[in-house]
Chains A and B, each alone.
Chain A
Amino acid sequence: MSTPNNVGNDNIDHMTDTRAIAVGENLPGCKKRDPIVVADNVTRSFGGITAVDVEHLEIPRHKITALIGPNGAGKTTLFNLLTGFDTPNSGAWTFEGNNIAGVSSYKVARMGMVRTFQLTKVMGKLTVMENMRLGASKQPGERLSKALFKNIWGAREREITQQAEVLLKKFKLDAKKDDYAASLSGGQRKLLEMARSLMVQPKLVMLDEPMAGVNPALTQSLLDHIKNLKAEGMTVLFVEHDMNMVRHIADWVVVMAEGRIVAEGPPGEVMKDPAVIDAYLGAHHDVDLGDAEGIRELEAELEADEESIVGTDAAGMIAPEAVEAHLEEEEGK
């Protein structure tokens, strides 16, 4: 993928590129070496509540950027604004240098900025394959004047069918291609929505909670898919609450709270930021409660914590002894 602003980038492997993302310090609203989206003074209020109030935001090209923050922080609203699904009260933003404030959503998508939705949107009464084909761009058969003549659009149709088959195989949906999308499980729908957005061949993929409702086994393959997008030269921006995922795949993290951007930086750095911990993560966010080791760690931490009831007489069923007995029983199984 060519990058007009940065000549010579073409030879860089985006997976191993370790050059600094930001220019200067990692502060909220900092300048990036090579931004794909630049937003200024974007505000949106619903009644008296200011949902989004972003002074300056740059999304780095060829990187995976995570947008995190508590519920109601304005993450999805910012997504909607940037992709033209909602109109801001004020603000301007550019995509690859083109001003796209006020441009309708379908045109934004055509320019290569494609999004998915928090509440998955698949066409239930179309087959999985038809869902995929629908995503493809530049289809002559989508014009009314040419739709009647299969000889005009047949070739492109075969092309996109092949493209769709490759993607479906990657997302392990190829066995389902003739089923109605409505028969898919929640996690499979997430996969389908993501695969379908890739049919547009976007430059920037915006994923709104790609992991919500996806089972752990599938999570790993989804993570790989998202990493692969970067390898293929795409830029990814995603909203997610799963901190493990953010830690694993994000190159850059933007934290929002109450509509503003409160912190920015590489994941390791941002998650140690006291402001982020207070506003969003919670004190013990880095403990993985998914395994016994993590729970023992948390118990030890809580015992040392003066504010916690763990380690006092009031602990009851969350006292270390009680939890320990339970854990051993689990491991014995």
Chain B
Amino acid sequence: MDFGNILSLALGEIATPTTAAYALAALGLAVHFGYSGLLNFGQAGFMAVGAYGFAISTLTFKVPFVVGLLISLLCAVIFALLLGVPTLRLRADYLAIVTIAAAEIIRYIVTTNTLFRITGSADGLSSFQREFDSFNPFPAGTYIFGWSNRDLYVRVVSWIVVILCVVIVWLLMRSPWGRVLKGIREDENAVRSLGKNVYAYKMQALVIGGILGALAGLLFTLPRGSVQPANYATELTFFLWTVLLLGGMSTVLGPVVGAMIFWVVLSLTQNLLAGLIESGAVTFISIVQAGQLRFILVGIALMLLMVFRPQGVFGNKKELAFA
């Protein structure tokens, strides 16, 4: 068992575009739940809308990259409005029910065989990233950590997007606008009694978090060059919630660090278990079973976190003490 290799594999996860995508999607959840108290259990749906919105407009309608990007974000806005209009006047739990169902509806629609020509059904879509790749400014070759020029390019782009979004969310949340959202999270009737249009604020928060989700969907698919419905199942949403809780709910850096921890731990457990099995130290499970076991371990890690550090890594203990 090569500990050095296992460790470097795990640390390599910190910078992957997938980690960036998780961080961004969880940042969207932080806007929804951490700051506004909106229970969104359909963030995977927003990611799928973003990814498919881009892939379909690029492949079927042959639009340029920037237009595809805008269409993708517009789709997320429309999706957020569709979910928000009927539910945001109701209690928080209604949004939770509607979002979890809507995310599944999206996934089933793109899996339908009837739409094979447009969505590619269960196979999904691929080769929509060519124009994105053509913007790569790095000449071919091997770079730091043995990355190819494309590896470096997608990582740089992903993390620039994440950093930009983190800064924007931070600026928003320190403003009076963010204060109203936090007030709504605490007690929306009190905020209403002070003359604020609570419904409009909740809608704005839902849309902004949704746009972050759609961007995350793009970061998730563009480096892969393919989008498959199976990637956007409900478990993705729950992984994002795990990331959010790991990092701390009402912070902007929480989701980023949470995503890094999540992927490092996942990789560590996976490779450690595989190593143990290969070296014969563990004989009672196979490598395939180990793949499932790591999620159990992540679950246990999350439980321990909730018991011993319920506010997450970056959360403020004071904000939680009276919850």
Contact = CB atoms under 8 A, between A and B. Distances in A.
A109 B176 contact: no
B145 interface: no
Given A134-B194, A135-B194, A125 B322 contact: yes
Interface string B145-187: 0000000000000000000000010011001111110110111
A303 interface: no
Contacts of A117: 189-190, 193
A34 to B, nearest CB: 25
Interface in B191-208: 191-198, 204
Given A125-B182, A180-B322, A141 B193 contact: no
A157 interface: yes
B196 A142 contact: yes
Contacts of A134: 179-180, 183, 191, 194
B193 A109 contact: yes
Nearest to A202: B195
Interface residues of B, number: 31
Contact of B176 (A114, A141, A180): A141
A142 B195 contact: no
B197 A125 contact: no
Given A125-B186, A148-B168, A141 B194 contact: no
B187 A121 contact: yes
Nearest to A199: B194
Interface in A147-194: 147-148, 150, 153, 157, 180, 182-183, 193
Given A106-B198, A123-B182, A180-B319, A157 B190 contact: no
A196 B185 CA distance: 17
Contacts of B198: 106
A170 B195 CA distance: 23
Contacts of B323: 125
B318 interface: yes
Contacts of A182: 321-322
A262 to B, nearest CB: 28
Interface residues of A, number: 42
B193 A105 contact: yes
B200 to A, nearest CB: 9
A227 interface: no
Interface in A66-123: 83, 85, 104-107, 109-110, 114-117, 121-123
B195 A126 contact: no
A213 interface: no
Given A148-B171, A180-B322, A182-B322, A114 B177 contact: no
B168 A109 contact: no
Contacts of B194: 106, 109, 114, 134-135, 137, 196-197, 199-200
B175 A180 contact: no
Nearest to A142: B176
A139 B192 contact: no
Q: What 9 pairs between A and B have smallest CB-CB spacing? A: A141-B176, A147-B177, A109-B195, A121-B190, A123-B186, A182-B322, A147-B175, A110-B195, A142-B176
25 contacts: A83-B193, A85-B192, A105-B192, A105-B193, A106-B192, A109-B194, A116-B193, A121-B189, A121-B190, A123-B186, A125-B182, A125-B250, A130-B182, A131-B183, A135-B194, A144-B177, A144-B204, A147-B171, A148-B168, A148-B172, A148-B175, A153-B175, A153-B176, A183-B322, A197-B194
Interface of A: 83, 85, 104-107, 109-110, 114-117, 121-126, 130-131, 133-135, 137, 139, 141-144, 147-148, 150, 153, 157, 180, 182-183, 193, 196-197, 199-200
Given A141-B177, A147-B172, A193-B190, 9 more contacts: A85-B192, A106-B198, A109-B195, A115-B193, A126-B179, A137-B194, A144-B172, A153-B175, A157-B176
